[in-house]
Structure 1
Amino acid sequence: MTSAATASPDATSADGLRQRALHALSAARDRTGALTECVDEPDLTAQHSPLMSPLVWDLAHIGNQEELWLLRAVGGREPMHPEIDPLYDAFEHPRAERPALPLLAPAEARGYATEVRSRVLDLLERSALEGGPLLDGGFAFGMIAQHEQQHDETMLITHQLRRGEPVLSAPEPPVPQGAPVAAAEVLVDGGPFAMGTSTEPWALDNERPAHHRFVPSFFIDTLPVTNGAYQHFIADGGYQEPRWWAPEGWEQIRGHDLAAPLFWRREAGQWLRRRFGVVEPVPQDEPVLHVSWYEADAYARWAGRRLPTEAEWEKAARHDPATGRSMRYPWGDEDPTPERANLGQRHLRPARAGSYPAGESPLGVRQLIGDVWEWTSSDFLPYPGFAVFPYREYSEVFFGSAHKVLRGGSFAVDPVACRGTFRNWDLPVRRQIFAGFRTARDV
C-alpha cells in the first residue's frame, strides 16, 4: 500500500509544495481505489454496521469534499452537481440513515470522484500556492489529502466489521530487531514544554497554536499494553468488578454483556479474534486493539495506574530533554519511514510490542507513532488561542467532555494524517476504531 510521507518543513518552494500535494493526493486515491475495488457492488452499497456508512457513501463523499474545497473554494468553479451536496454532508444525515438515501451508484460515485480529481490536478498545476490561508503552504490540498486518508481509515474499519471472505492482504510486520526496551516505564521530568504547533503547514486547527504547558513529573509505559497483559485483567475478573469502571462504562459493559475486546471470543480454552475475515489466536505480544476508553481506563485502574493526559502523552512523544525543544516526532524532525513506525496500511495489524527501536523517543519510549491509536484521559478541548479554520465542523463542534482524545495514529493511518501534534477524538464507548493504550502513574 502506497503511503504519503509528510514533507520536511523547509520544502516551501512552489514546485516543492506542488509535488508534495500531488504525491499526497495520489497516494490517498490509490488507497481509496484499493479499498473499494476489492469488493463487489452489493458489498459497496451494504451497510456493514449501523456505526459506519456504506463504502459507496465514503467514496462519493471524498469526491464531494474535494470539489467543495478545492474546485469551489480555491478554484472559484461552479458546482458540478449541487443537488448531491446534502446527500454527502456528514452532519445532515447520521450514518445509520445513509443507506436509505438516493446515493450515487458505485459506477457513478467512481466517475464523479475521478472527474473531480482530474479538474483538481489541473488546478494544482496552475496554482501559485500562495495568496491566502487556504492556499499558503498548499494547505487546502493537504487538508483534502488528509481528509481522504481519514476516510480510508474509516473504510478499513468498515472492512473489519464486514462479514464474509477475506478480501484484503498485506505482509506481516517485521520481527522486532535490536535490543529490547530497558525498562517497563520511564520517568518524564516535570517542567514546561511547547505543545501543539504554529509552523507545521498542514496542521489542522485543533493542533494550533503552539503554547507552553507545565507538566509535573510522571512515569509512562515504554510500550503499549499488550493482549497478554490485558488477558490478565480479564482472568482476574476485570469485567465483573465494578470498582474498576467509570459508572457510564459499567453501564455499557453490563448493558451489552461485554467481557473482552471487540472481535474476541473464547473457544476451546483460548482467545481467538476475527481480523479482516480471518479467525486466529490472539497474539500475546501485540498491542491490545479494539478497546473503548472505558475498557482502557478500567484496566489502568486495575493495574494501579491511570491513562496519561494528552499533555503527558505529547511531552513523552515530542520533548527532547537534551535540547528542551519539541520535535515533530519521537525520533526527531525527519518524516516517518517503515523503519520508524507502522503506518499507512503497510500491514493489517499492529507490530509486536517492542518493535521499531529506530522510532523511539529520547527517553526510550517506543511505538508512540503508529500501530494503535492511544486513548488519553483528556477531554477534547481547544488550545489557548484556538481559531476555527477553515470550518467549525472539523473541530469546534466536537469540543467538550463528550469526546476523549486519542493520540499517535495506528497501522491504518497514513503519515500525511499523523504527526506528534495530531489530535484524534471519539466517544468513550467506541470499540470498532483501531485503538489501544498505554498507562502512566504519578511520581
Structure 2
Amino acid sequence: MSTADSAMTGTEVAASAHPLRALSAQDLRAHTAHALERARKRSGTLTDAVDDADLVTQHSKLMSPLVWDLAHIGSQEELWLVRDVGGRQPLRPDIDDLYDAFQHARADRPALPLLGPGEARAYVREVRAKAFDVLSQAPLEGGALTDTAFAFGMIAQHEQQHDETMLATHQLRKGDPVLHAPSPPPRRVGAVPAEIVVPGGSFLMGTSVEPWALDNERPAHPVFVDAFAIDTFPVTNGQFAAFADAGGYQQPRWWSEQGWAYRTEHDITAPRFWRREQDAWWRTRFGRYERVPEAEPVVHVSFHEARAYAAWARKRLPTEAEWEKAARYDPHTGRSLRYPWGDGEPTAEHANLGQRHLRPAEVGAYPRGVSPLGVHQLIGDVWEWTSSDFAGYPGFTAFPYREYSEVFFGPGHKVLRGGSFGTDAVAIRGTFRNWDYPVRRQIFAGFRCARDLTPAERG
C-alpha cells in the first residue's frame, strides 16, 4: 500500500459523537422504547391480518407458522431483557426449548405443543410490560449488555428480523390479499451512468462505534480494494427477464456446477413467483396477481440465479468488501459513512424500508439515498447477494452468544447486504451483514453486478 493509500484508509464518526451516545439517559430510554414499540406494532399488523387458523398453519416447510415466530419473539425478549438484564424471575421457563431456533427445524415446528394464538399474544404482552419496567430502571452504561441500551436494541432488531421473516411467510401463503400499503415512489432521477467506477485503495470496513451493531459487523478494519465498476442500480425485472427469455435457465455455461445441479433438480425456470403467459411475465405478490414491472429490482432470486445472470451479462457479483466500499466510502474525506447518504438515520426520502410499501421501488426512486460515489439504492428495496462467504472479521469476538453469527461462518452461507423493503431501519446500516444459503429464493433478495476494469480503464 502506498503512503497516499495509507493516509486515506479512513475513519468512522467518533464514538462519542454517535447520535445515540449524545442522548441523555431519558432520551435514550425514549428512543429505545420507540424502537421496541415500532417492532411490536409491525408484529401485530402481520399476525392480526389473518385468523387464528391461518396463524397456526405452516404455509411452507421453509417457514414456521406465524404463531411460532410471535411467541419466539417474546421468548427471546424474556431471556435477554427480563431475565438477563433485569434479573427477574422467569415467566415461562417451560417453553424455552420450544422456541429455541436451534432445537427444532422449521419443518418440525407445527408438531410441537406450541402456545395457541391467544396464549402467544398474552405472553408477549406480559413480557413487554416487564421489559419496559426493566428499561425504566436499568443503568444504560457500565455493562456490555446495558451500555447505550445494547440488549434492548438487539431485541428490537431481532423482532424486526422476524417481522421480515413473517412478511416472507405472508408472500408464501395462499388466498386473498390481507396486507395493504401504498405504492412506492416512481423513478425520480434522469439519465445516469449504468455503472460507477469505484477507485482502488483502502477504506475502513465494519464498525467499532455503532452502539447497536451486532458482533459480525465488528471490528472496524482497513481493507484494500482494487478499482472496479459496479452497477448504479440493482438489476431490474426487465433486465433479468431478458436473461430468462434468452434461454439463460437452459444453458449450463452460465451456471456454477452446484447452481446448475440445483436448478435442474428443482426445474427452476424463472424467479420464484414468476409465471410466463404468452408474451409476458406475471408474478404473485402478497395474494395479488400482476404483470411483472420491468423497472423494479428483481426479487426472489437465489445466489445461483444472480451469479448465472452476472456471467451471462459478462460481469460478476461484487465481493462484500466492494459492496461496502461503494456504499460507505466518501472519496472527498476518505471516511466511511454510516449510510450511503451520510450519518443521519434513514427516512422515507432515503430508502424503501420498514414494510412502508409491499414491493421494491423503481430504480432511481431515491435520489437522496445515493452514495458519494453515485451508486443508488444500496439500502432498502432488495437484499443484494455478494460473492463472499460469511466469515468473521479480523479480531472478531462472539457477543453476546456464539449462535448469533459464529456457528454460521463458512462456505455454506453467502453474504447479503443492504436490506429490503421488508427490513426496518433499526435493523439495517452500511455495515449490517445478512447471510443465507445460496439456494434461498423466498427471501426478498436481488442483486447488482460488478466487473473488473479493463487495462485501458485502469490507465
Q: Same fold (TM over 0.5)?
A: yes
Q: In the TM superposition, what is the alpha-carbon distance from 1:251 to its structure 2 partner? A: 0.7
Q: Does 2:334 align with 1:327? A: no
CA deviation map 1:20-46 (0-9, x unaligned) = 110100000000000000100110000
Contact 2:55–2:117 at 8 Å: present in 1 too?
yes
1:86 is matched with 97
Tell whether the 8 Å contact from 2:340 to 2:369 is kept in structure 1 after alignment. yes
User: Which of 91, 111, 136 is residue 125 of structure 1 equivalent to?
Assistant: 136
Q: Is the 8 A contact 1:341 1:369 kept in 2?
A: yes
Q: What amino acid sits opposite 1:160 in the alignment?
A: Q
Is 1:47–2:58 an aligned residue pair? yes
Residue identity in the other structure for 1:419: R
Q: Structure 1 residues 9 and 320, CA, compared in 2 at 3 Å: closer, same or farther?
A: farther
2:308 to 298, 309, 322: 298
How big is the shift at 1:13?
2.4
- Residues 101-110 or 75-84, more deviating: 75-84
Q: Deviations over 1:73-112 (max 9, x none)?
A: 1011121111100000000000000000000000000000
Post-superposition offset of 1:222: 0.3
Name the residue aligned to 1:4: none
Q: Distance in 1 between matches of 2:67 and 2:138?
A: 30
How far apart, in 1, do the equivalents of 2:404 and 2:431 lie?
Answer: 16
Give the conservation status (yes or no) of the 8 Å contact 2:72–2:99: yes
The unaligned stretches of length 5 or more in structure 2 are 1-17, 454-459
Tell me the secondary structure at the aligned position of residue 110 of structure 1: helix
The corresponding residue for 1:114 is 125
Measured in 2, the distance between the counterparts of 1:236 and 1:281 equals 19
The C-alpha deviation readout for 1:181-227, integer Å capped at 9, x for no partner, is 52000100000000000000000000000000000000000000000
Q: State how far apart, in whole Å, the 2-side matches of 1:301 and 1:354 are.
A: 24
Alignment check: 8 A CA contact 1:205 1:388 kept: yes
Inter-partner Cα distance in structure 2 for 1:17 and 1:389: 22
Q: Which residue of 1 aligns with 2:378?
A: 368
Conservation of the 8 A alpha-carbon contact between 2:215 and 2:397: yes
Distance between the aligned counterparts of 1:8 and 1:351, measured in 2?
A: 29
Secondary structure in structure 1 of the residue aligned to 2:339: coil
Q: Does structure 2 retain, via aligned residues, the 8 Å contact 1:181–1:222? A: no
Q: Output the CA distance in 2 between the equivalents of 1:371 and 1:357.
A: 14
1:148-187 correspondence runs (5 A): 148-177=159-188, 179-187=189-197
Q: Secondary structure at the match of 1:87?
A: coil
- Give runs of ≥4 in structure 1 deviating > 3 Å: 9-12
Contact 1:8 1:335 in 2 (8 A): no
Q: Contact 2:389–2:413 (CA<8 Å) still a contact in 1? A: yes
The residue number in structure 1 matching 2:32 is 21
Counterpart Cα distance in 2 of 1:77 and 1:220: 51
Alpha-carbon spacing, 1:181–1:147, altered in 2? closer, same or farther (3 Å): farther
1:145 to 153, 156, 168: 156
Aligned-partner SS, 2:389: strand
Residue 188 of structure 1 aligns with an amino acid whose one-letter code is V
Aligned to 2:230: 220
How many Å apart are 1:124 and its aligned residue? 0.6
**Distance in 1 between residues matched to 2:424 and 2:129, nearest whole Å:** 23
Q: Give the Cα separation in 1 of the matches to 2:445 and 2:126.
A: 35
- Paired position in structure 2 for 1:3: none
TM-score (norm 2): 0.94
Give the structure 2 partner of residue 58 of structure 1: 69
Two-structure CA RMSD over aligned residues (Å): 0.8
Mapping of residues 239-388 of structure 1, within 5 Å: 239-388=249-398
Task: List gaps (5 residues or longer) in structure 1.
Answer: 1-6
- Which AA in structure 1 matches 2:95? I
Q: Percent same amino acid among aligned pairs?
A: 68
Q: How far 1:362 sits from its partner (Å)?
A: 1.0
Aligned mate of 1:98, from 102, 106, 109: 109
Task: Find the aligned partners of 1:330 and 1:180 in 2 and give their Cα distance.
Answer: 19
